[in-house]
Amino acid sequence: MNQFRYYSLRASEARFGRFFDNKAIRFLIWFVTIALYGLAIFVLWYLHNSLGWLLCSLAIVLTMLMIWANGELLHPAIGKSDNITDVLSRDILVLLNRKPTSRKLAEIVCKTQSGGFLAMRYAITPTLLELCVADLSEDIEPIFAKAREIQQITNSEQIAGAILSVAILECNPKCETILKRMRLTIDDLYGGIIWYNYLHGLVKNMRKPRHTGGFARDLMFGYTPTLQETAVNISRMREGVIKEQVHLAAHDEIIEQMIQIFSNTGRQNVALIGPEGSGRATIVTAFADKILESESKISSQLKYRQIFKLDAAALIGMAGKRGRVETLVRDVLTEGYMAKNVIIWLENAQLFFEDGEGSVDIANTLLPILEGGKLRIILTMDEQRYLEISARNSALANALNKIMVHEANEEETMRIMQDHVPEFEYDHNVIYTIWALKEAYRLSERYVHDLVMPGRALNLLEAAANHAGEDKFVTEESVQAAIEKTYGVKMQSTQTNEDKERLLHMEELIHERMIDQEGAVKAVSDALRRSAAGVRNEHRPIGTFLFMGPTGVGKTELAKALSDVYFNGEGTMIRIDLNEFVSPDDVERLIEDGAVNELSLTSQVMKHPFAVVLLDEIEKAHPQVLTTLLQLLDEGILRDVRNREVSFRDTIVICTSNAGANRIREYIDSGKDLAEVKEELTNELIHQGDFKPEFLNRFDEICVFKPLSKEDLRSIVDLIINGVNKTLENKKMNVVLNDEAKDLLVERGYDPKLGARPMRRIVQQTVENIVAKAVLSGEMNDGDSIMINAAMIKESLD
């Protein structure tokens, strides 16, 4: 059954057919055949010689040979026996030798069209396959047996190179490990075979002519000169191109619903309501294709109707004056009605129901037409616009036959992307890998907010073509580059060994720029290490922390340090002072559209998804603002005013609060350990009504910051002086403070209520002023060092 028969009729025919693969040879044979026929006629007719019959015989033999080659040799049908030779594809039969081994098979599969497809898109290369067969016996039969199983699973007509590639891989006991390393599953490869079969089928169908009614089809329908100027004839554009493929069962149902509505009596309109990118236009195009097909089983009242997409801007432009638009619209719609074969499509229908730039309100003209059902109309718009129109004009909304178009899921989006890949590849002269498709789905889901699936994944996938490597392959890196360049989303670079080291020594790195607060720093570092190791929940922010403590103890400083250390200086800190959000109306300001307020929380995160989000003084925010933040903390998602999902899943969210500062001080004064009193403190804040328990429960860690001691302040002085020296570094100048000077600064700069905050001011007034005067007076030149003592500090303070 799985034994290859080299001398079988099918295999012999396949090898013989190789001769005809060359187009030049085929052309030559046809040329010789026609010449022989001509010569035969000449010899028989004019020379009256019987040799003409021989020439004629030769020509007939060549004719039959060419018919056989085109009908069978180049496209052999599947054999009737259950032997493997009868189901192998022609290109495999041609390449197999008398006694094929598994090694030979691994060598040849990638030379076939489908094997090459899998090699390029899934990296199932000849080298990988040869490595796979190195562990196997020479016996080829187990591979053929596995190939038969795959053929059944993938519903393939014959066993081609792609199936054999996967079979070789699956026969290797380490298949799962190999695939895991390649970040693939066996189902991905089956998907690849189905993808190839589908494309192969499309190419086959392209050769078949489309029957769309013929040239006299429109004789009974009226002329539409005004419509031609103000609208685009979608049906005309679809003639002669490949039929729009419908991959979503839901879309198929919608098209059937549209056919039902337009075939029955009653309101002859369909309003496709769905978010941008959900495929509304594709549905209309597929509908146009379906009613153009002669073979479609639809009512003759609907067959061959032409869909005209009306353009609001063209209408306004053509009308000249705004007041004339209504007259023009009436003319256009009357023309459509009189022609008897027109379906008007109002894409972005809201543009026809509001007065503005590029839009025109023709509701009063349209309403009687929609209600009367004399003219077929398709409207497409998003749900929000539909709701707005309904609120303004309920009669209009009631006159519409509403059909909802929903977002595609992952499986459907992948299939739609696979369908569009050949088009993108042709347009940009590139080759897409499967990882590019997966990455386009993943990244667009997270960072592209204006559209929904499948539109957003498709847009990103097409944009990635411009970032293909020199080898013309579009990989996941191309998609990442596309999202950075096209959408302005700054991607985080992949984790290197250096990043891992940084995470392991996070505490030390943070303490290079802040003093004390070991508890808080450790809690935050542990949480972020867990996240970086992949232990975290992908559907939440990287970390959510509540920093509590008095002012000036390092809460903001820790947030800044995290931004630098965790994101390696590539991250941004998005800071929102919640004391500016004290009324319920302020919620909108927080989630405002970027076009209106570029500093709103959602618009900033849209632009910088890898960031530390610092929400300062949350205790002062209105409770409704805190309720809005619950979903952000829980699922890493916040919806903006336009109802777009903004992902916070690559952010570290830090809320700071001064609430309970006095209690913290009391606990410290009474000698209690902060770690022990954290729970007690949290309960007190809940009882006092400062925070709701459901809000506090959503944080990964609640970090309590202790007030700074005088010893801490001394270390802070060192940090600030280090900062001053860093500024002076380009002049090679250096500032040194003796111990007395530092003690004096600590004494003057210490305020238990304000923490380290006054210290920076004091250093500015003293140290920086002394250095400035020394530089200006010429006492201090480039490369000099200055020693500051207590007397100098005292003098500058007085």
Question: Look-up: residue for tokens 């500090």?
Answer: 793
Q: Which is nearer to other proteins, 338 or 387 (CB)?
A: 338
**52 is a site residue for other proteins (CB under 8 A):** yes
Buried b / exposed e over 159-173, threshold 16 CB at 10 Å, is: bbbbbbbbbbbbbbe
DSSP per position, 722-756: HHHHHHHGGGT-EEEE-HHHHHHHHHHH-BTTTBT
Least distance to other proteins from the beta carbon of 57, Å? 3
Q: Which is nearer to other proteins, 72 or 598 (CB)?
A: 72
**181 is a site residue for other proteins (CB under 8 A):** no
Q: Which of 18, 103, 104, 217 binds other proteins (CB under 8 A)?
A: 217
Q: Which is nearer to other proteins, 13 or 331 (CB)?
A: 13
Q: Which of 25, 28, 32, 54 binds other proteins (CB under 8 A)?
A: 54
The closest alpha carbon to 789, from 745, 740, 755, 728, belongs to 740
Phi-psi region of 429 (alpha: psi -120 to 50; beta: other; left: phi over 0): left
For the record, the structure tokens of 752 come out as: 């238990």
Q: Which of residues 284-343 bind other proteins (CB under 8 A)?
A: 294, 300, 304, 338-340
β-bridge mates for residue 655, sequence order: 546, 615
SS3 111: coil
Contact region for other proteins (CB under 8 A) — 7-15, 313-321, 494-502, 669-677? 7-15
> What whole-number distance in Å separates Cα of residue 718 and Cα of residue 733?
17
> What whole-number distance in Å separates Cα of residue 650 and Cα of residue 538?
9
Q: Which is nearer to other proteins, 50 or 155 (CB)?
A: 50
Amino acid type, 576: I
- List the beta strands (DSSP E) in 580-650: 611-616, 637-639, 645-647
CA–CA distance from 398 to each of 329, 402, 433, 681, 742 (Å)? 22, 9, 47, 57, 78
Q: Which of 30, 31, 38, 49 binds other proteins (CB under 8 A)?
A: 49
For the record, the structure tokens of 365 come out as: 């003209």
Q: Which is nearer to other proteins, 291 or 417 (CB)?
A: 291
Contact region for other proteins (CB under 8 A) — 145-153, 211-219, 348-356, 786-794? 211-219
Q: Which of residues 617-676 bind other proteins (CB under 8 A)?
A: none
- Residues in contact with other proteins, shown as a per-residue x/- string from 58 to 77 under the rule CB under 8 A: x-xx-xx--xx--xx----x
| Contacts made by residues 408-412, CB under 8 angstroms, sequence distance 24+ | 408/248, 408/278, 408/279, 408/453, 408/454, 409/453, 410/441, 410/453, 412/247, 412/248, 412/453, 412/454
Least distance to other proteins from the beta carbon of 297, Å? 14
**6 is a site residue for other proteins (CB under 8 A):** no
**220 is a site residue for other proteins (CB under 8 A):** yes
Contact region for other proteins (CB under 8 A) — 31-39, 210-218, 503-511, 615-623? 210-218
Least distance to other proteins from the beta carbon of 591, Å? 53
Contact region for other proteins (CB under 8 A) — 139-147, 212-220, 379-387, 414-422? 212-220
Which stretch of DSSP H or E encloses residue 501? helix 497-504
Q: Which of residues 8-37 bind other proteins (CB under 8 A)?
A: 9, 12-13, 16
Least distance to other proteins from the beta carbon of 29, Å? 15
- Residues in contact with other proteins, shown as a per-residue x/- string from 332 to 371 under the rule CB under 8 A: ------xxx-------------------------------
The answer to whether residues 562 and 545 touch, using CB atoms and an 8 Å cutoff, is: no
Q: Which of 19, 42, 53, 787 binds other proteins (CB under 8 A)?
A: 53
List CB contacts of 101: < 8 A, sequence separation 6 or more: 138, 139, 140
Q: With CB under 8 A as the rule, give the number of residues binding other proteins.
A: 45
Question: Look-up: residue for tokens 């004629």?
Answer: 56
Least distance to other proteins from the beta carbon of 242, Å? 18
Q: Which residues bind other proteins (CB under 8 A)?
A: 7, 9, 12-13, 16, 44-45, 48-54, 56-58, 60-61, 63-64, 67-68, 71-72, 77, 209, 211-217, 219-223, 294, 300, 304, 338-340
